[in-house]
Structure 1
Amino acid sequence: MEGIVTRRVIPSDNSCLFNAVGYVVDHDKTKASELRQVIAATVASDPEKYSEAFLGKPNEEYCAWIQDSEKWGGAIELSILADYYGREIAAYDIQTGRCDLYGQEKRYSERVMLIYDGLHYDALVISPFEGAPEEFDQTIFEVRKDRTIGPIEGVALNFVKEQQGVSPIFWFQEAGEHAQATGHVNFQEYR
């Protein structure tokens, strides 16, 4: 593995999950609106699979709800986006040190990585060196026969563990600064 695991910060605008996925797949941090529409269309196209019991609200209501830029995404949206892009999405949780892998049952040949601190998603990438410009980020990784992405997986997990002691205090400080700068104060999980 060449390079270092780097956390690319995604703006805290209630669309961080969608924009983080957009970044790791397309190097585009402004995909939220498009990806919200993809999710709504997927859910609307299969009301049996995406039932009220599964979604926590009626299918039609969910479809309108997920397109609201103030609403947050989570596991349902990540599983749909993994299928949409035909890639596994690894979401590393700083609080638990756990990695939730979406799309693994489909045995996709590539994987992208996100990092989640309990309130916010950022992109997890391999950068060639400290401070390298984002255009040099490697964001898509080949899934090997053993269903891992090789040494990168362990390095990413170690990075996440290092973030455990930093994140909550740092995040709340960052959230406070963000709220002060933008007037944005909706920092709560949607489920």
Structure 2
Amino acid sequence: MKVKITGIGGYSSVIQLDNDASLRHLIEATHAPLPVAGIRFGYPPQRVNLNAGSATLTLDSLGICSGEKINLIFEDEGSLNKQPASLSATKQQVLPSTKCKITLPDGEENVLQVHQIPDDNSCLFHSLSYCVYKDISLSPQLRTVCSTQIRSDKNLYSDAVLDKPNEEYAQWILRKDSWGGGIEIAILSKNFSLAIYVLDMDALKFEKFNEDQFTHFVIIMFNGVHYDALELQNHTTVFDRHDELYSEAVLEAALEIAKKLKKGGHSFNTRRDRIVCNNCHAILVGEREVARHAESTGHFDFGQAKT
């Protein structure tokens, strides 16, 4: 069975155990940073104190099954707050903002990281091309897929939806300086037979495209004007949402990266923040205004305007 372990001070791990494992086996497998006094699990939470009698009880007899979330109760949680001893939490503190250490269900530690994509107006297509093919040079083909699909369904992709005539849009999206967005993400999701999770860095939440249709997904991160891809350090970019503990660990790490980057000023609220073109110093507000400026000028280097 696989269970998720959490504890005070940011301690977090996903471990795999035999189906007949005891409470003692579980505690030993966590490699907890402090002596464990007991566990909490279930809803409403129930506590089991660790003692000679409970240590030999099987997890099954306690009502713990695969997928359970278990909170460790440490004997001296105060010292953990003063001196963080959690290996994973300590290591995360020294990683750059673009990385977050996680423990995967097989017990191996890995790092989720941002794969930085060039700022050249094709960042959406580059990020998805990287996630699927590990090669951003296929971005023009992805534009072609979108253009063909838009042209083939003029009812779904009407002039009102596209904010320009269907044929004009189908030609426009083929240009390497045209920004892609939700329309293109939805099309490419179906083309790849993959759900696409877009992590909004400013809102700190995921927009999930076609999650109900596909079990596998990729993650891209949007800071308001730019997309980057997310991957494990071993270059894994496609994840299986049916493996709940595995995918949950990855998504939590992605949110942690977004939080750190937002705190560092890397996110833009395109409905609120003023954006400056670093090429001509024009001040813009809103994603659509930025996109139109990029289309008309060929400029693609943007930043947050100082207030």
TM category (shorter chain) comes to 0.7 to 0.9
Of 204, 209, 212 in structure 2, the residue corresponding to residue 97 of structure 1 is: 204
Deviation sequence 1:98-131 (CA, Å, 0-9, x none): 211111132x01000101111110111111xxxx
* 8 Å CA contact 2:197, 2:218 repeated in 1: yes
Task: Give 1:140's aligned residue.
Answer: 238
Task: Give the length in aligned residue pairs.
Answer: 170
Moved over 4 A (4+): none
- Report the 3-state secondary structure (helix = DSSP H, G, I; strand = E; otherwise coil) of the residue aligned with 2:212: helix
Task: Give 2:149's aligned residue.
Answer: 42
Task: Give 2:117's aligned residue.
Answer: 10
| Whole-Å separation in 1 of the counterparts to 2:123 and 2:153 | 26
Asked if residue 126 in structure 1 is aligned to residue 224 in structure 2, the reply is no
Task: Give 1:63's aligned residue.
Answer: 170
- Cα distance change on mapping 1:72 and 1:187 into 2, 3 Å: farther
Task: Give 1:155's aligned residue.
Answer: 253
Structure with greater proportional strand content: 2
Question: What is the aligned-residue identity percentage?
Answer: 30
| Whole-Å separation in 2 of the counterparts to 1:33 and 1:142 | 27
Give the TM-score, by structure 1 length. 0.81
Asked if residue 186 in structure 1 is aligned to residue 300 in structure 2, the reply is yes
Structure with higher RCO (Cα < 8 A, 6+ apart) = 1
Task: Give 1:30's aligned residue.
Answer: 137
Task: Give 2:90's aligned residue.
Answer: none
- Give unmatched runs, 5+ long, in structure 1: 128-135, 170-174
Of 256, 263, 267 in structure 2, the residue corresponding to residue 165 of structure 1 is: 263
Q: CA deviation at 1:48?
A: 1.1
* 8 Å CA contact 1:7, 1:124 repeated in 2: yes
Task: Give 2:25's aligned residue.
Answer: none
Deviation sequence 1:131-186 (CA, Å, 0-9, x none): xxxxx31100011176x9222111111111111022159xxxxx85xx69xxx633
- Give unmatched runs, 5+ long, in structure 2: 1-103, 269-276, 281-297, 303-307
* 8 Å CA contact 1:20, 1:29 repeated in 2: yes
| Whole-Å separation in 2 of the counterparts to 1:90 and 1:32 | 18
- Report the 3-state secondary structure (helix = DSSP H, G, I; strand = E; otherwise coil) of the residue aligned with 1:123: strand
- Report the 3-state secondary structure (helix = DSSP H, G, I; strand = E; otherwise coil) of the residue aligned with 1:3: strand
Larger Rg: 2
> Aligned-residue CA RMSD in angstroms?
2.4
* 8 Å CA contact 1:89, 1:114 repeated in 2: yes
Structure with greater proportional helix content: 1
Moved more, 59-68 or 137-146: 137-146
* 8 Å CA contact 1:111, 1:149 repeated in 2: no
